[in-house]
Structure 1
């Protein structure tokens, strides 16, 4: 068995490209080798900013051999009546480079066919890899690709070298101007190279030793964490590890060296969030916390080399951070001199979205909408949430948010607390942009949840009213995130809201400000969009698609009720008799639907027109059952309501067996349909049973 290594050397790639590149290389190589019939051991992929590596152990140097039966034309076409070969048979043999005598008859389920046995495989894996490697390299999808010089090859950055070895043999191929070989490169400072790799097994030792490079992202991450923790403990602190930043930093280095540095304690007057943003966003560094959780005047950064003069490098990093902290301190002090009235007045000069007025107009809408939502969901918070709605965008015109835009909302909450606003208002302001996606944290407070819900709803309505609807993968205004945020908030907090009514209210708020939008058309598109996001949300949680479609088919406006109906359906689907009950009820639904639906039939039936025993029995059952179903619906007990489906099924089956529903007598026919429509209308509130595939 052999060892294979492929190293793709390039100019530095952005760290965000590396995880996707590793995943693509692993998937594409595994698929290509499987298709080629190459046996191999573990496939390992690693990357640094300057290289991507595929390392495969225990690779069979010879492709698997197999014999395959290849069918040709039918025997009646391949041979004449006296058994002589036809031109069709001769052509089939010639296609496969065989003689006519190598062709035989093969019996199949469809009859006799001309066939040959082809021996396949047995090719040197070295030859196969010479085709697989350039194909995979050329097909790696990057967020951005570039060309350089006069070459047609497109890659994330210009290629500089390629190592491709199967044991000691070079796999020969070229990608653009770069030919494969055995020469690798090391760290730009500590081991530039080139270094000749005698065989694949020696590659990692040479790169890590002579090249001074840590090619494995896990190794680099461990070096950073262990070194950082050791240095922080020495001063009595702990590193405030940010996982996203840690992934980015390890992806920026080939030779990671964590280094502790300091800043002036005077800057600690600035809020913790601002200091951490300065360190993390601008300097790719981590804060240090004391045992009580407060920030210490130190930060941890990660170098990509071992410096000759640590103090000199440390001083340089401190000087750069000092400039950022000085700016933050200036804006912080300037903002503290202002008040919310000043900022709210400035919001009237900030455009919200196209022709939808100013950010000041938006906060006035949010003030009204927040109060309305709170009165429905949390009446004790009506004043608090309304105040939060009015102040929600004030921090957009502050100096600090102008400098650090990712602190919007956070600074609003900090300023609100500093300037004497209720703490619940401050908390709501800090949580107004949560959740930022399907997996990000939700607001922790009801006030924050209601403000976030109002903000996202207002944005959705404005964009849909202006026909700025997501198309394909394009979603420049983040409307999918808005919709999933609304869904997660409503479901998690259990808010009993009718989203169609909420959207309608927002449309009226726009109209009151002189921004008239097409109400009916906008509402329909909004509800369709919300239904699509809700479907993705439920199926993403592992719910069965037919059950999801059935629950959504009964209405999506009340999100919490839709989730409850889906949960009840899921339980009901696992009970004995589920399939039979659904089949029976689908028959009810189909008969009523063919007659124009329940709306085209009377609301009640006439007992005087009941003739058959089975229809009298069904009517008696319905007189008891329908009021119970109405009560269960009012109580939201969908599970108990679905259980009634099993209860009424015998009477419905007997009705179908003993009564001609579509009889010639129009009065009897309508009366019988009215009974079915009354039953169908109750269960249609729970699910669209036509969507269930039984």
Structure 2
């Protein structure tokens, strides 16, 4: 068994590319090695801004040899009447790279055929690696690719070197204008190289010893945390770095040789809101804030260098000078904004375009005013100190929620939209729940992010997302593949998560129809209202299904629940909160011992009803019932229907399933003693209506035909 290592050296690659590159390298090497029948123990990947590394451990040295008997045409077709090979026979051996002397006659069940015994495999690992490494490197996907010089080869950034070694043996191949070798390069400043690697085991050890490069991103991340925490512990008791995982992931992807440094800024800047200071140093300078034991910001920040400077004070002063300039700008915008107010900013929204034909942000805010008022009424929103009427409070939030876009602070730091609205609302004396809702309008920002904490914030968030979804779908701006420029998938999932968390029983169709109604009549839509809402509901159903599966539910079970329909054919999944309850109920019921028998009965009823010649009805004629089994089933159906109708209306689903379980023995007895498809068409229709009285209700719970029993 051998150890293979590949190192792809480049100019600095953006940090956001690194994780995907590691994943792609592992997957592509795994696939091609399996395709080439070369076994291995494991694959590990590493990355820094200047290199991507693949380790393949315990790689087999030689492909196993496979012997196959390749069957050709029948003997009477392979030879002519004179015993010579026919064109069919000649074509067969030519296609197999064989000669006439290699032909073997093989007896099969269909007769005698010619064949050849063929061996494959036996390639050495170095031969296979020479073939697949250039393929893999050339095929790696990147959001953006570059070409350099006169090369047609494209990569994320220009290639500088490629190291490939199988134990002590260099694997030589060419990628673009670079020929692989046993040489690597270190840090640009601290030990540039080149360094000759004697064995695949030595690569990372040499890079660390010569340049202090930490190749493993996980170790590099932890190294930054440990070193930085040691430094901050020397400041004052209780001081802590405000670690942000996304920022930490980005920073570790910007350095090969991490050197944490603590810097300072003038205490007078602490008059700025904490969010403004953190945004300044995090988003613009890729640094981390530091807070005291009381969670108040200190006039300190942490930066991570990619160099061990000769004079740390000179470097520190440079960082402090840049941050000071940014904070001076922020302080200017802050003081200017405090001279203005929402009353000034709201009318200014009419000068900002929302989305082409959909009008201005002012138009959007007026739509949100109406939609938030409607939602406030639906959820029974309570009022506040300024506006004791919940509907009026929701309307004010909808009208004001985009106003901070006109502030100078958000104009400079766009990531603070919503946050600054909340801060300015507090400055104007509005109560904290109202102010917080202006921030919560943008939540959730992803599948695992925080949700709004208040009903007002939830209403504002749903209104904003519903308005955008309806507008984009009406214009035909529907996500395709990975393209989703307006983050519509995130918006749809956000609405679903809010409905689930808050327990709002607001049908999606009703929400979107109401949002559509607030758009102006003169908008030139691509789709009609009916088409828009139909496409949008299908899209949201798909996102909801994806969410449930992602939360651990089986796909078939989710499909069954999502396809539950009422007697008019409308999807019950329109009520998102109730859909999750139905899903959880079905999952719990499936764990019961008699679930399989119950599901099989439901499937059998569904199959029989599919043969109906006429439209079915839940009403049937009890006077046409003949056998005792029919009459007992009649009593059971009436009892089941009462339980179902009462509990389903209240989203109480387990009693429904229990009632079905009690009914099942009566249905079994009915099937054993009665021929449903009777010759008398009236009796046949009546018996099918009996079954329909059960299935029309159970189909609301789930489409049991989707379940594999």
Scaled by the length of structure 2, what TM-score is found? 0.91
Aligned to 1:65: 64
Residues 201 and 635 (structure 1), Cα distance of their counterparts in 2 relative to 1, 3 Å cut: closer
SS of aligned partner of 2:147? coil
Q: Which among 540, 543, 547 is matched to residue 537 of structure 1?
A: 547
> Is 1:646 matched with 2:646?
no
Aligned to 2:262: 260
Aligned to 2:386: none
> Is 1:495 matched with 2:494?
no
Aligned to 2:701: 686
> Is 1:297 matched with 2:299?
yes
Residues 264 and 77 (structure 1), Cα distance of their counterparts in 2 relative to 1, 3 Å cut: farther
| Deviation, structure 1 residue 130 | 1.4
| Deviation, structure 1 residue 117 | 4.3
Structure 2 counterparts to residues 518-529 of structure 1, below 5 A = 518-529=528-539
| Deviation, structure 1 residue 129 | 1.7
Residues 513 and 442 (structure 1), Cα distance of their counterparts in 2 relative to 1, 3 Å cut: farther
Moved more, 396-405 or 197-206: 197-206
Aligned to 1:509: 518
SS of aligned partner of 1:47? strand
Partner Cα distance (2:319, 2:557) in 1: 57
Residues 621 and 122 (structure 1), Cα distance of their counterparts in 2 relative to 1, 3 Å cut: closer
> Is 1:467 matched with 2:444?
no
> Is 1:553 matched with 2:563?
yes
| Deviation, structure 1 residue 163 | 1.7
> Is 1:306 matched with 2:308?
yes
Q: Which among 586, 591, 604 is matched to residue 569 of structure 1?
A: 586
Residues 495 and 185 (structure 1), Cα distance of their counterparts in 2 relative to 1, 3 Å cut: same
User: Is the CA contact (8 Å cut-off) linking 1:387 and 1:425 kept in structure 2?
Assistant: no
> Is 1:234 matched with 2:234?
yes
Aligned to 2:634: 619
Aligned to 1:428: 437
| Deviation, structure 1 residue 319 | 0.9
| Deviation, structure 1 residue 603 | 4.9
| Deviation, structure 1 residue 3 | 3.5
Partner Cα distance (2:297, 2:558) in 1: 48
| Deviation, structure 1 residue 502 | 1.5
Aligned to 1:588: 605
Partner Cα distance (1:215, 1:658) in 2: 74
Aligned to 1:325: 327
Residues 269 and 660 (structure 1), Cα distance of their counterparts in 2 relative to 1, 3 Å cut: same
Partner Cα distance (2:283, 2:359) in 1: 32
CA-to-aligned-CA distance 1:73-96 (integer Å, 9 cap, x gap) = 265557779997855566545554
Q: How many pairs does the alignment contain?
A: 691
Aligned to 2:567: none
Structure 2 counterparts to residues 168-567 of structure 1, below 5 A = 168-236=168-236, 237-380=239-382, 382-383=390-391, 384-511=393-520, 518-554=528-564, 555=571, 556-567=573-584
CA-to-aligned-CA distance 1:661-681 (integer Å, 9 cap, x gap) = 454555444433433332222
| Deviation, structure 1 residue 108 | 6.6
Moved more, 137-146 or 26-35: 26-35
Aligned to 1:55: 55
User: Is the CA contact (8 Å cut-off) linking 1:77 and 1:86 kept in structure 2?
Assistant: no
Residues 518 and 133 (structure 1), Cα distance of their counterparts in 2 relative to 1, 3 Å cut: closer
Poorly superposed stretches of 4+, deviation over 6 Å = 78-85, 107-112, 512-517
Moved more, 540-549 or 667-676: 667-676
Partner Cα distance (2:348, 2:5) in 1: 61
SS of aligned partner of 2:442? coil
Moved more, 508-517 or 638-647: 508-517
Aligned to 2:687: 672
Moved more, 231-240 or 197-206: 197-206
| Deviation, structure 1 residue 57 | 4.2
| Deviation, structure 1 residue 637 | 1.9
| Deviation, structure 1 residue 365 | 2.5
> Is 1:140 matched with 2:150?
no
Scaled by the length of structure 1, what TM-score is found? 0.93
SS of aligned partner of 1:234? coil
User: Is the CA contact (8 Å cut-off) linking 1:622 and 1:679 kept in structure 2?
Assistant: yes
CA-to-aligned-CA distance 1:364-383 (integer Å, 9 cap, x gap) = 32233223223332432524
User: Is the CA contact (8 Å cut-off) linking 2:365 and 2:401 kept in structure 1?
Assistant: yes
Partner Cα distance (2:15, 2:554) in 1: 37
> Is 1:160 matched with 2:154?
no
User: Is the CA contact (8 Å cut-off) linking 1:186 and 1:192 kept in structure 2?
Assistant: yes
Partner Cα distance (1:155, 1:391) in 2: 47
User: Is the CA contact (8 Å cut-off) linking 1:65 and 1:121 kept in structure 2?
Assistant: yes
Partner Cα distance (1:65, 1:665) in 2: 70
> Is 1:149 matched with 2:149?
yes
Partner Cα distance (1:109, 1:247) in 2: 63
- RMSD of aligned Cα (Å): 2.7
Moved more, 439-448 or 281-290: 439-448
Moved more, 86-95 or 575-584: 86-95
Residues 280 and 85 (structure 1), Cα distance of their counterparts in 2 relative to 1, 3 Å cut: farther
User: Is the CA contact (8 Å cut-off) linking 2:70 and 2:118 kept in structure 1?
Assistant: no
Aligned to 1:123: 123
| Deviation, structure 1 residue 482 | 0.6
Partner Cα distance (2:19, 2:109) in 1: 49
Residues 101 and 518 (structure 1), Cα distance of their counterparts in 2 relative to 1, 3 Å cut: closer
| Deviation, structure 1 residue 41 | 4.5
User: Is the CA contact (8 Å cut-off) linking 1:432 and 1:448 kept in structure 2?
Assistant: yes
SS of aligned partner of 2:518? helix
Partner Cα distance (2:254, 2:81) in 1: 76
User: Is the CA contact (8 Å cut-off) linking 2:620 and 2:689 kept in structure 1?
Assistant: yes
| Deviation, structure 1 residue 301 | 0.6
Aligned to 2:31: 31
| Deviation, structure 1 residue 102 | 4.9
| Deviation, structure 1 residue 571 | 2.1
CA-to-aligned-CA distance 1:461-487 (integer Å, 9 cap, x gap) = 111222222222221111111101111
Residues 617 and 292 (structure 1), Cα distance of their counterparts in 2 relative to 1, 3 Å cut: same
CA-to-aligned-CA distance 1:504-563 (integer Å, 9 cap, x gap) = 222222258989983322222221111111111112222222221221112221111111
| Deviation, structure 1 residue 13 | 0.6
Gaps of 5+ in 2: 384-389, 565-570
Moved more, 462-471 or 301-310: 462-471
User: Is the CA contact (8 Å cut-off) linking 2:231 and 2:262 kept in structure 1?
Assistant: yes
Gaps of 5+ in 1: none
Residues 305 and 469 (structure 1), Cα distance of their counterparts in 2 relative to 1, 3 Å cut: same
| Deviation, structure 1 residue 437 | 1.6
